[in-house]
Structure 1
Amino acid sequence: MNFALTPRKIPYEEIICSAEDCLFKNNIGKEDLEAIRQDISSLLRRCSKPKLNLPKDEFTALNNLRNRPELTILRADKGDATVVMDASEYNFKIQLLLSDESTYKKVKTDPTTNTLKTTSDLIKKYSEK
């Protein structure tokens, strides 16, 4: 797809976090910061739900595809396209890729907890500087 679908809801948290991040990076004073935050909050409260940017029949067709568990919808590696695949075929291809021991190796334990702790420690360390 060469375009973005209309979001189902306004990403309030993402907008507020991005705005606050920008304000902090630009050393905005505390009073101005609060005023800008209030303005953003007020604007977001007045926003209406986004309108569809697809014709209704295309939107219905897309939802029908999404609701079919036997299908997998993916972004193509190249060409800015969308691929619809049979889910079992997709899973087979993924398993085939993962079974390549020259590229991947099986780990004995899940490294997620350790990686999260290391990342958190680094963030803490550099945010204190």
Structure 2
Amino acid sequence: MINFIKESITNALKHGKASAIEISVLEEQDTIQIMVKDNGRGCDSFIYGFGLKSMEERIEAIGGQLSVQSEPMKGFALHRGYNSKEIAEKLFLTQGTVKNYLSDLYTKIGTNDRAKAVLLLKRYLST
């Protein structure tokens, strides 16, 4: 997940010339979703270059999917969704173990509030 966010930020700054980036992480039942939006240049159409193709391959390897949206002057949005059952199967873990890892992550960063966790992650990535 961290690599996806880092690559998204790099693309937004390098290619989109974005001045603002919004990162959201949402856990719903058995799914983890990450959305990265920016206010950069955007485009009508885009080619899956090395960065996007690599992200898509890594996401699909664990059963997730990548969604990309963009319009000229309206920035870029990347959405990455994970199903915890598929993650568990690919990593040879149980669903309970995947959920426990998420719970441990929240504990380690000192919160069980998703919004606060996202803010802490943003701060960590900006250092």
TM-score by length of 2: 0.24
**Which protein is richer in strand relative to its size?**
2
Q: Which has the larger radius of gyration?
A: 1
- TM superposition score normalised by structure 1: 0.24
